[in-house]
Structure 1
Amino acid sequence: MTKIDQAYRVIFLPWGRAQNSVKQGKYDGFFSASRNEWRDQFAVQSNTFIQQEWNFYYHNEYRIPTSVNSLKSDTLFGARIHSNSAHWLAKNKFKKVKIFPTINELVKLLDARRIDGVMENALLFEEQVRQSHLSMDAFVKRPNMRIDLGVYFGKTFLAKHPGFLARFNRHTEECRFDYQ
């Protein structure tokens, strides 16, 4: 934003409220977010500049089903409300998914074996494990997919600022971040 001489302010909100506030035109954008059809209705995603790894995480004592069908029908997953991982689990027909407000709750529930698995952003999950003073050794990680993230700018904001997104996109490569 500095490179394009754009004033900005970052406000931390619950994820669902951030998205709905942009939808209502109250705020200009939200980040970082992966593309989905619902968001595309009211906002436009910038060039992607953060690469995210989505992994399945299980408690190390959980017997992970060997077949995809069993995994989808028998494993109780936890997901964050309004997250793209919750959307992905539903879209891919995982049958047992419980929604919770925070990543903190998901890690605690998985550690306590109250849920069987989590499919989540690696950076978010692994940082929460560290903050919870747990060890990643307590969990089994299974890679799922890599997905790119960007900033979603509201269509209301973009209509008032023609050319903004093109200027913003010219500088995203300089800010690129890849999960290692």
Structure 2
Amino acid sequence: MKNYALLAVLWICGFSNAFSAEGINRKMIITTQEWAPYHFKLPSGEVGGEATEVVKRVLDEMNIKYEITIYPWARAQAMVKDGEADAFFAASWNEERSSYAVLSKVFVPQKWYWFLNKDSNLDPNSREFQKSEPVAVLLGTNMQKYLRDNNYIISGTPGDMDALVKMLDAKRIKAVLVNDKVIEEYFANNKIDAGKYKKILCRDMPLGMYFSKKFLHEHKWFLDKFNNVVTKHSLIK
């Protein structure tokens, strides 16, 4: 009889451990940036946006408690690197980020476009442009790293879209590299005529969510489950 009781206790403990192995006993700390239409602060103070809604649906389905906070983008990433946060989104892959975090399955489409003044005949994808013309890009973005790695002449790295567009309008630079949905949202919100500019495709760079390696080491089951669930909610068709 004692043996049966012992087996029952061991079975219950084993079940409990299996359950806790796929749970998180605290709130996940997640960082992002003000980057409409992907993520932005709502009048309620909550974070909304099309990428945010995917993340919320996935984590809710996984029964994960979480807190999403907006920071300047460079800080949002540094907090994950320094162990102050568990994840950041939405982001495309790069080697630097992948040294301290792991990218999920991508779930939001993104294209990088060059925006130039309408009267420009330059091709920012050409070697000649790359070696001779000044450009600008938002600080802390993967686009900044791409330009640096490919030896573009970066003459400005402002922290917001307003300053970036003003540089282009003032013709201080010949082109800006941006996410086209983000800059077009900015144009619409600020009643700026998008016809003043021309755009040229640079790269297709879909977005996912980066989780710190420390977090994934502590919760080894998490990434596979997140990737399975996010497939159902992905905006990439």
TM-score of the superposed pair, with normalisation by structure 2? 0.71
Deviation at 1:61, TM superposition (A): 2.7
Aligned letter for 1:158?
L
Percent of paired sites with the same residue:
28
Q: Does 1:171 align with 2:229?
A: yes
Between structure 1 and structure 2, the one with the greater Rg is 2
Q: Does 1:151 align with 2:151?
A: no
> Corresponding residue for 2:185?
127
CA contact (8 A) 2:124 2:175 kept: no
Instruction: Give the Cα–Cα distance (whole angstroms) in 1 for the partners of residues 91 and 125 of structure 2.
Output: 30
Unaligned runs of 5+ in 2: 1-58
Instruction: Give the Cα–Cα distance (whole angstroms) in 1 for the partners of residues 201 and 181 of structure 2.
Output: 13
CA contact (8 A) 1:111 1:138 kept: no
* Structure 2 CA distance for partners of 1:66 and 1:149, relative to 1, 3 Å: closer
What does 1:26-175 correspond to in 2, within 5 Å? 26-65=84-123, 68-175=126-233
1:127-151 per-position Cα deviation (integer Å, ceiling 9, x unaligned): 1122222111010011112112100
Question: Which of 59, 70, 83 does residue 25 from structure 1 map onto?
Answer: 83
Instruction: Give the Cα–Cα distance (whole angstroms) in 1 for the partners of residues 227 and 207 of structure 2.
Output: 13
Instruction: Give the Cα–Cα distance (whole angstroms) in 1 for the partners of residues 193 and 236 of structure 2.
Output: 23
CA contact (8 A) 1:107 1:128 kept: no
Count of equivalent residues: 179
Higher strand share: 1
> Corresponding residue for 2:53?
none
Higher helix share: 2
Aligned letter for 1:128?
Y
Q: Secondary structure of the equivalent of 2:65?
A: coil
Tell me which of the two structures has the higher relative contact order, counting C-alpha pairs closer than 8 angstroms and 6 or more residues apart. 1
